[in-house]
Chains A and B, each alone.
Chain A
Amino acid sequence: MTDTPLLKVSGVSKFYGSRIGCKDVSFELWPGEVLAIVGESGSGKTTLLNCLSTRLMPTAGSVEYRMRDGNFRDLYHMSEAERRFLMRTDWGFVHQNPADGLRMTVSAGANVGERLMAVGDRHYGKIRETASDWLTRVEIGTDRIDDQPRAFSGGMRQRLQIARNLVTGPRLVFMDEPTGGLDVSVQARLLDLVRGLVNDLGLSAIVVTHDLAVARLLSHRMMVMKDGHVIEHGLTDRVLDDPREPYTQLLVSSILQV
């Protein structure tokens, strides 16, 4: 076990006017750890995820991230350029709707290659080779490399988005409902893929989902949100098998079996 966290979150709150987005959230994320954020619609999951990934500026609080040189940096006090670089290289962000994370009018290969070019890769042949490797890893036939994602099914688009995010070897990946719009059978395949990649690459991830089965399968640790607050937090199987809070018991009891 390494004894330094990757992310230190303290007192993060976001208000939309007088409406609470999320309130006073604190936790640490460790290397190789997958944290699931669950809760009903409107509970503040996306707001929190966007604050953590600096896509949104919180009203209060701080998030410190351990850079590759081992030093912690306060994300909200970085320059815009530094933050963008981090997002393009060290982090991934998987959107619920693949169209938000992909460029729909360039080829699958270019979607993956673009991230490599952002980190300074210039050799066309090598970029194409890496892109083609990654398409294989996410189970997209390499004969589809020149097709645009517009021509892909929802499941394929989501797998392409994952390849695009992971190709630069990020250390931290944010995912917002990664299996949201997909059929159940397509979901299972995607989950299995994500689980394998997270294990193999030793990634840390924060996954927002309202699906407790997804949380069970992917995460080590779970946070339950209600009305913007984290109401329960613990080892995933503990929270699911012995929920303590009334709201968590309600959530767990409203599904058949997880």
Chain B
Amino acid sequence: MATPLVVSEVFKSFTMHLRDGIKLPVVNDVNFSVASGECVVLGGPSGIGKSSILKMLYGNYAVDAGQILVDHKDRIVDIARADPRTVLDVRRHTLGYVSQFLRTVPRVSALDVVAEPLVARGIAAPEARDKAAELLAKLNLPQELWTLPPATFSGGEQQRVNIARGFITSHRILLLDEPTASLDAINRRVVVEMIADKKREGVALLGIFHDEEVREAVADRVLDVSQFSPRKAVAA
């Protein structure tokens, strides 16, 4: 089985220069990999560093040390060291990410927000919009909202737009940060099915799910992030 994502000896801390330069260690020596068709769930208490790991993998947070190896267009890219242009290319073609909250852009309709990752890959706008409509329908977003910018949507509506945007491409790796947190039971089940489809397509998924039921349904294994916590190391 292919392993498109390998994380090796990754360290992360924040230095708060506005707070007398205190250093806040977050994770030490993170090692794991995710195989195609597998869904790995990051577990552990609030503040332990789960989201920070996802953000480092996506190139959104810098990495102090270690490697994040991604199989991108038949070569291996180390996200920890890649230049911005390469990171953006990896995001466009290989690595998808559903953040916990949608970042809205003024004046762009929900349909176009969702279609955008396909358009960025060179797919014609009408075709991309059709696919976007299909996903929004599956996620039960009322059709009268599709042409509106999501800025005024409810939390759950925005999150469904965000999920559709993350799932529209056939990226080989998908990162999910609590995608179901603000959804009702019906839509949670839709997302569980969508994740199962991605697994069948051979996508490598790495996610954070607080909801027990969702986690049970999607996880092939749970990786406890506490084992990478420097605080644990100090206590031991």
**A residues at B contact (CB < 8 Å):** 1, 30, 33, 188-189, 191-192, 195, 217, 220-221, 234-238, 241-242, 244-246, 249-250, 253
Additional A-B contact list (4), CB under 8 Å, known A192-B105, A235-B59, A238-B61: A1-B85, A192-B106, A195-B105, A221-B85
Question: Which of A242, A244, A253 is within 8 Å of B18, CB to CB?
Answer: A253
> Which A residues are in CB contact (< 8 Å) with B14?
242
What separation, in Å, do the CA atoms of A217 and B107 have in the docked complex?
12
Q: A192-B106, A244-B62, A253-B18 are known contacts. Are A221 and B89 too (CB-CB below 8 A)?
A: no
What separation, in Å, do the CA atoms of A221 and B21 have in the docked complex?
26
Question: Which of B18, B21, B85 is within 8 Å of A33, CB to CB?
Answer: B85
| B59 and A192 contact, CB distance less than 8 A | no
B16: nearest chain-A partner, CB-CB: A249
| B88 and A220 contact, CB distance less than 8 A | yes
Nearest-neighbour CB distance to chain A for B63, whole angstroms, equals 10
B87: nearest chain-A partner, CB-CB: A235
Contact digits for B221-234, partner A, Cβ 8 Å, 1 yes 0 no: 00000000000000
Nearest-neighbour CB distance to chain B for A205, whole angstroms, equals 15
Q: Kindly identify, within residues 50 to 69 of chain B, every residue whose CB is under 8 Å from any CB belonging to chain A.
A: 55, 59-62
What separation, in Å, do the CA atoms of A245 and B18 have in the docked complex?
10
> Which B residues are in CB contact (< 8 Å) with A1?
85-86, 89
| B61 and A188 contact, CB distance less than 8 A | no
What separation, in Å, do the CA atoms of A1 and B59 have in the docked complex?
18
Top 7 closest A-B pairs, CB basis?
A246-B17, A235-B84, A188-B106, A192-B107, A242-B61, A221-B84, A249-B17
Question: Is B217 on the interface with A (CB-CB < 8 A)?
Answer: no
| A217 and B105 contact, CB distance less than 8 A | yes
What separation, in Å, do the CA atoms of A236 and B85 have in the docked complex?
11
Q: Decide if the interface of chain B is mainly helix, strand, loop or mixed.
A: mixed
What separation, in Å, do the CA atoms of A30 and B18 have in the docked complex?
34
Q: A237-B60, A250-B18, A253-B18 are known contacts. Are A188 and B88 too (CB-CB below 8 A)?
A: no
| B62 and A220 contact, CB distance less than 8 A | no
A195: nearest chain-B partner, CB-CB: B105
| B85 and A241 contact, CB distance less than 8 A | no
| A241 and B55 contact, CB distance less than 8 A | yes
| B106 and A191 contact, CB distance less than 8 A | yes
What separation, in Å, do the CA atoms of A78 and B88 have in the docked complex?
34
B15: nearest chain-A partner, CB-CB: A244
Most chain A CB within 10 A, of B21, B86, B88, is at B88
Question: Is B108 on the interface with A (CB-CB < 8 A)?
Answer: yes
> Which A residues are in CB contact (< 8 Å) with B105?
192, 195, 217
What separation, in Å, do the CA atoms of A244 and B64 have in the docked complex?
11
Nearest-neighbour CB distance to chain A for B109, whole angstroms, equals 11
| A242 and B62 contact, CB distance less than 8 A | yes
> Which A residues are in CB contact (< 8 Å) with B86?
1
> Which B residues are in CB contact (< 8 Å) with A244?
15, 62
| A30 and B85 contact, CB distance less than 8 A | yes
| B60 and A238 contact, CB distance less than 8 A | yes
Contact digits for B199-218, partner A, Cβ 8 Å, 1 yes 0 no: 00000000000000000000
> Which A residues are in CB contact (< 8 Å) with B16?
249
- Please list 11 pairs of residues, one from A and one from B, whose beta carbons are closer than 8 Å in the complex, sorted by A's number: A1-B89, A188-B107, A191-B106, A192-B105, A192-B106, A235-B59, A235-B60, A235-B87, A238-B60, A241-B61, A242-B60
What separation, in Å, do the CA atoms of A195 and B119 have in the docked complex?
14
Contact digits for B80-102, partner A, Cβ 8 Å, 1 yes 0 no: 00001111110000000000000
